[in-house]
Amino acid sequence: MTQTEEKLEAQDTPQVPIDKIVSLCKRRGFVYPNSEIYGGVAGFYDFGPLGVELRNNIRRYWWWSMVQLHDNVVGIEGATITHPRVWEASGHVENFTDTLVDCKKCKRRFRVDHLPAENLASNSCPVCGGELTEPRKFNLLMETYLGVVEGDKMKTYLRGEACQNIYLDYDNVLKSSRMQIPFGICQIGKAYRNEVTPGNFLFRQREFEQWDLQFFVHPSEMDKWFDYWKEYRFNWYKGIVNHKDRLRFHEHGKDELAHYAKKAFDIEYQTILGWQEWEGIHWRQDWDLTRHSEYSGQDLAYTDPNTKERYVPWIVETSGGVDRTFLFLLLDAYEEETDPKGDTRVVLHLHPWLAPVKCAVFPLQKNKEELVNKSKEIHRMLQRYMVCQYDDVANIGRRYRRQDEIGTPYCVTIDFQTLDDQTVTVRNRDTMEQVRVPISELTMYLLERITWK
Ligand code: ATP
């Protein structure tokens, strides 16, 4: 029989400090600081063996629900460098700036739009009270140069937002697929910004990944589709977090709205940093296609095949971040539970759909050859269908803890009873309950619980 565990009481951990997540991520191979052996570089991170699995699952789940489940949505993957005129047309060359101030005393740097009102008014540092410098503007676009001959090189930019490729490919998609308006184009891809205040781990980086849907509609249907995607995206996030009360909409006030937007909502999540944007739902009207028509000289208007009406489609945009999702999901999932003896288990209550490792297989004892052989056989059977780890190091309790800490939803233990009746013990990460499942049903038992539906 598998060793039973003491029931653990969940501690009240209202908000998890970011440091705990940073240290777990490094210790267990989710995220490493980029170029660490050279002292690191602010705003860049690398993803380790578990991080890459979690990221892939997050991306795939988004793609599944946005593209695969919608008959009127298709996907693309664009290059991260485009013609430089794109960034003039989009307004980024001129307007993609942050205004910042430095504290003359403690040398900290702040974005003016992030300063509390009282510090703005008194021109004082929110940390030490020191005097602030004059505001200075910085363009966030990262420059790069194409070509080999000095002097003939063309200056262009790493894309400051991924969605521009969608406008650039809109006409090609229309002509090469069977889409008709209303329809959408999705993309997941890297974006680069010379953020003046990178920080809070993955929250604000200089290289990060965005997911975008640009949904093209007839102007008369804009309200309807805006509401549809706004609700759809909110429910999507609600479906993958434990703390549903930490999600809310923030509606942009008149002063926050772009000039072409009638409305915009952020989906926000509450962490130790306060309420923060997770994704934006934007009313983009015909701004992007009109600008690209003007700058490229190509007519990007649409002709309705039935009514023959010709118009520039309006756009509903939903734009969020893979890295921010990664961070918020870890903050949402992290819990420390302590049993009556004072032993603590760290557990990630990640949704089983997203957990990096789906299942771990343990022989009850490492020195019993029959148990080890049977366990390896079961491991080989399962790993064809899911990410599955084999572990025979230390006692069962320790092995459970190792898996809890990385969010593995199921652990399978092979014991002496297995050799008699071909059943195994499956232990649930969240409830710690154990059930016996026949080996012949094990794959389906797990797949039913880890496959999104
Ligand atoms: P902010 O005002 O915080 O700088 P933004 O409004 O400019 O953000 P968008 O351009 O709308 O952000 O980007 C869409 C999404 O991309 C954001 O909701 C966020 O999830 C993600 N994102 C934006 N900037 C960063 C960054 N520097 N690091 C990580 N993710 C980011």
**Which letter does DSSP use for residue 204 in this model?**
B
Which CATH superfamily hosts domain 357-450?
Anticodon-binding domain (3.40.50.800)
Q: Which of 95, 210, 247, 315 to mutate to test the pocket of ligand 1 (most atoms within 8 A of CB)?
A: 210
Q: Is 317 in the pocket of ligand 1 (CB under 6 A)?
A: no
Specify whether the CB–CB gap between 229 and 215 falls below 8 A.
yes
Q: Where are the domains of the chain?
A: 18-82+140-330, 97-139, 357-450
195 CB near ligand 1 (under 6 Å)? yes
CA distance 247 to 269: 5
- Residue whose Cα lies nearest atom 27 of ligand 1: it is 204
The DSSP bridge pattern shows strands 31-33 and 45-47 to be: antiparallel
Can you give the pLDDT of all 453 residues of the chain as single tens digits? 334 455 444 444 578 999 999 999 999 999 999 999 999 999 999 999 999 999 999 999 999 999 999 999 999 999 999 999 999 999 999 989 988 999 999 888 888 988 998 999 899 999 999 999 999 988 999 999 998 777 778 899 999 999 999 999 999 999 999 899 999 999 999 999 999 889 999 999 999 999 999 999 999 999 999 999 999 999 999 999 999 999 999 999 998 898 889 999 999 999 999 999 999 999 999 999 999 999 999 999 999 999 999 999 999 999 999 999 999 999 999 999 998 888 889 999 999 999 999 999 999 999 999 999 999 999 999 999 999 999 999 899 999 999 999 999 999 999 999 999 999 999 999 999 999 999 999 999 999 999 998
Two tokens, residue 302: 């649409």
CATH of 18-82+140-330, one of 3.40.50.2000, 3.30.930.10, 3.40.50.300, 3.40.50.620: 3.30.930.10
| DSSP of 124-151 | B-TTT-PBBPPPEEEE-PEEEEESSSTT
